[in-house]
């Protein structure tokens, strides 16, 4: 699906959260919540990017495992 209001959300065992809304033309809006190890802090990142850009964010936050 290239556009429309499809939202996918993944939640990890470590309280991580990834939400993606597909906007069309390879663009998405995304939100990431990732618990920081050894603290009670949660990193929160949201934005609009290409699919490749979001894949880079997923790798940077170690959400692929």
Q: Where are the domains of the chain?
A: 7-60
Mean per-residue pLDDT, 4-19: 73
Residue 49 confidence (pLDDT): 96
Q: How far is CA 56 from CA 35, 49, 63, in A?
A: 18, 10, 10
Q: pTM for this structure?
A: 0.77
Whether the predicted pLDDT of 53 surpasses 80: yes
């Amino acid at each position: 699906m290239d556009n429309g209001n499809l939202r996918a959300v993944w939640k990890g065992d470590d309280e991580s959260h990834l939400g993606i809304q597909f906007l069309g033309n390879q663009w998405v809006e995304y939100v990431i919540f990732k618990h920081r190890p050894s603290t009670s802090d949660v990193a929160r990142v949201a934005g609009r990017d290409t699919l490749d850009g979001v894949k880079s964010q997923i790798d940077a936050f170690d959400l692929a495992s």
